[in-house]
């Protein structure tokens, strides 16, 4: 009996929002095909997942904002594990609602060594089912100058591992930012060993 009000509310929501009815939220699970996606990277170039999936294990990590403390710890965890991740055949790409310019500042400030995609409208996040909310702005001192960093959307901190076959190997919605790089490396090594 308690399910009826919930179902009714869901139907009312779908009817009231025809866009949602046509494009219901995505809910990817392990074993599902990963979305094919592209975005502009921190160099202003088009980055296409199809150039990497099938050749590498691809880690797509979504994070809220450049130049914030927790997001910096997460980015640095991937930076610090880059050699081991590369040896394991893993390519990492970070995605947030920040602009290309913000990403350039973030990479320079923390010597990041992997691409960051500007997902200012949240389209990449939505393709993966990652919740997004309105963007925002922060002010940071970079190279001795105050810079305003404006982002289009703010995504939740989720990490996806895409296997060589193009399917989701792992979806982590409870990311420990400071150890994300190590956790991904350990996971991929474990899953690769199990498959042999």
Query: Active-site positions?
Result: 71
**What is the distance between the alpha carbons of residues 39 and 31, in angstroms, rounded to a whole number?**
24
Which residue, 146, 147, 144, 170, is CA-closest to 159? 170
Both tokens assigned to 62: 């979504």
Helix (H, G, I), strand (E, B) or coil at 130: coil
**What is the distance between the alpha carbons of residues 133 and 98, in angstroms, rounded to a whole number?**
13
Residues facing 53 on adjacent strands? 56
If you search the block for the tokens 């500007």, which residue do you land on? 118
């Amino acid at each position: 009996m308690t399910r009826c009000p919930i179902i009714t509310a869901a139907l009312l929501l779908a009817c009231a929002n025809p866009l949602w009815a046509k494009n219901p939220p995505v809910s990817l699970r392990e074993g599902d095909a990963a979305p094919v996606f592209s975005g502009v990277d921190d160099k202003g170039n088009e980055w296409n997942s199809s150039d990497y999936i099938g050749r590498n294990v691809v880690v797509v990590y979504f994070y809220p904002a450049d130049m914030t403390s927790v997001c910096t710890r997460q980015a640095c965890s991937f930076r610090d594990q880059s050699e081991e991740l590369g040896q394991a055949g893993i390519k990492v790409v970070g995605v947030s609602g920040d602009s290309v310019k913000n990403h350039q500042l973030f990479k320079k400030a923390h010597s990041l060594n992997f691409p960051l995609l500007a997902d200012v409208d949240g389209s990449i996040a939505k393709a993966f089912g990652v919740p997004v909310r309105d963007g925002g702005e922060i002010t940071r001192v970079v190279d001795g100058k105050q810079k305003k960093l404006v982002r289009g959307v703010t995504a939740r901190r989720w990490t996806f591992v895409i296997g060589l076959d193009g399917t989701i190997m792992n979806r982590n919605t409870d990311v420990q930012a400071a150890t994300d790089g190590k956790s991904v490396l350990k996971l991929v090594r474990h899953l690769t060993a199990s498959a042999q």
